[in-house]
């Protein structure tokens, strides 16, 4: 796996996300790049106590943080970057510049140096990054490493595209994948599409040697039902496409994806649609 970006503002929320990123970096033999984003100089005087000469303080905190976790994760290579600007834009820019494979970020939290990472910022980070993003809510005690991944399948073509990356994570963590068929309609054709895509994904996982289970959910609010199911099976990751159950009013983050990212107490892996992957069928 390539580099992993861990968005840091030194809050408890971002440190919690860092620990998750460290676990993944260790299992996937990845370099971890810690990224802190401060406001531009023009905004610092008006909105923040952060000054230009505080950069050395930030570097010191990074050095202390890396020293603390290097002994716990001796196989992980660490580095850090300090950027100025909008959090979500700079995280995405660093991910692109570093050719990162994954970004891990807390969905809220704040420090004395930076803006609050709450509300729509989590969705903005997901939308701005080209690579997959794992978002983790603050205050959540996350079981590590990954051991069970929930993989929802809906009627969209894009729903299968997260299979490759999910399989990669599952393989390196010896995790079990729960394929969940999501039924949001009584129309037979739509339900048949869900079943067909789920069977394709299952066959792909079989070929990749991934342990999986198959289940289904039918509810008024599929996001809530899926989150409840994930909690019941003690999953510690939910893999979604940002375009799942999308509408023309929001082409980047559909209602389903928004609800899951904003409300899930379980880490969420979000991916954008790419060229349709090919999954072998029997």
Rounded CA-CA distance 273/260 in Å is 17
For residues 8 and 55, state if they share a domain: yes
Look up the pTM and report it.
0.86
Q: Give the structural domain span for 194.
A: 148-271
- From 79, 102, 136, the end of a domain falls on 136
Same domain, 75 and 130: yes
Tell me if 195 is assigned to some domain: yes
Beta pairing, strands 268-271 & 133-136: antiparallel
Together in a domain, 63 and 38: yes
Q: Which residue in 96, 121, 94 sits closest to 106, CA to CA?
A: 121
Indicate whether 108 belongs to any domain. yes
Same domain for 249 and 166: yes
Are 127 and 186 in the same domain?
no
Confidence of residue 107 (pLDDT cuts 50, 70, 90): confident
Torsion from C-alpha of 38, 41, 98, 74, nearest 10 degrees = -40
* Statement to judge: residues 219 and 110 lie in one domain: no
Note whether residue 27 is domain-resident. yes
232 shares its domain with 156: yes
Number of compact structural domains in the chain: 2
pLDDT in tens, 28-51: 999 999 999 987 765 545 444 445
Q: Is residue 278 part of a domain?
A: no
Contact 34, 62 (CB under 8 A): yes
Q: Determine which of 96-110, 122-136, 155-169, 191-205 has the lowest per-residue pLDDT on average.
A: 96-110
Q: Which of 53-57, 188-192, 267-271 has the lowest mean pLDDT?
A: 53-57
Question: In the numeric block, which tokens belong to residue 30?
Answer: 């990845």
> What's the confidence (pLDDT) of residue 220?
79
| Pair 122, 190 in one domain | no
Q: Is 150 exposed, middle or buried (0-12, 13-18, 19+ CB in 10 A)?
A: buried
Length of the chain: 282
* Domain end residue (candidates: 136, 171, 192): 136
Which residues have a Cβ under 8 Å from the Cβ of 265 and sit 6 or more positions away? 137, 140, 227, 231
Q: What average pLDDT is seen over the chain?
A: 84
> Are 96 and 171 found together in one domain?
no
Are 155 and 113 in a shared domain? no
8 and 127, same domain (yes or no): yes
Q: Does any domain span residue 79?
A: yes
SS3 157: helix
Which range, 118-127, 180-189, 194-203, 218-227, is most confident? 194-203
Domain stop point among 102, 136, 170:
136
* Domain assignment present for 61: yes
The CATH number of whichever domain residue 209 belongs to comes to: 3.40.50.620
Which residues lie closer than 8 Å to 87 by C-beta, 6 or more apart?
A: 7, 37, 114, 115, 117, 121, 124, 125
Q: Which two tokens stand for residue 92?
A: 């995405």
pLDDT recorded at residue 279:
35
The confidence score (pLDDT) of residue 27 equals 93
Q: Does the pLDDT at position 120 exceed 70?
A: no
Band (274; pLDDT cuts 50, 70, 90): low
- Whether 212 is covered by a domain: the verdict is yes
CA distance to 20, 64, 92, per residue, from 13 (Å)? 11, 18, 19
Per-residue pLDDT for 92 more than 50?
Answer: yes
Q: Classify residue 90: in a domain, yes or no.
A: yes
Same domain, 57 and 92: yes
């Amino acid at each position: 796996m390539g580099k992993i970006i861990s968005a840091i503002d030194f809050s408890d929320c971002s440190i919690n996300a860092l620990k998750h990123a460290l676990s993944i970096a260790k299992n996937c033999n990845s370099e971890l790049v810690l990224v802190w984003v401060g406001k531009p100089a023009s905004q610092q005087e008006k909105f923040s106590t952060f000054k230009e000469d505080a950069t050395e303080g930030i570097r010191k905190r990074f050095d202390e943080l890396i020293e603390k976790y290097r002994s716990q994760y001796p196989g992980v290579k660490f580095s850090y970057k300090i950027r100025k600007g909008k959090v979500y834009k700079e995280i995405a820019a660093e991910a692109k510049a570093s050719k990162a494979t994954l970004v891990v970020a807390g969905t809220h939290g704040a420090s004395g140096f930076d803006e609050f990472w709450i509300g729509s910022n989590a969705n903005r980070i997901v939308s701005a990054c080209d690579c997959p993003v794992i978002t983790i809510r603050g205050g959540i005690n996350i079981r590590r490493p990954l051991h069970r991944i929930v993989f929802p399948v809906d009627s969209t073509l894009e729903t299968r595209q997260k299979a490759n990356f999910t399989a990669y994570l599952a393989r390196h963590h010896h995790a079990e994948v729960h394929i969940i068929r999501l039924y949001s309609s009584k129309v037979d054709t739509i339900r048949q599409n869900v079943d067909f895509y789920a069977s394709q994904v299952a066959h792909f996982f079989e070929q990749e040697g991934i342990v999986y289970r198959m289940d289904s959910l039918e509810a008024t609010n599929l996001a809530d039902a899926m989150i409840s199911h994930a909690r019941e099976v003690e999953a510690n990751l939910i893999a979604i496409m940002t375009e799942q159950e999308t509408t023309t009013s929001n082409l980047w983050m559909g209602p389903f994806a928004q609800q899951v990212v904003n409300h899930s107490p379980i880490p969420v892996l979000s991916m954008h649609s790419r060229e349709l992957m090919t999954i072998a069928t029997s």
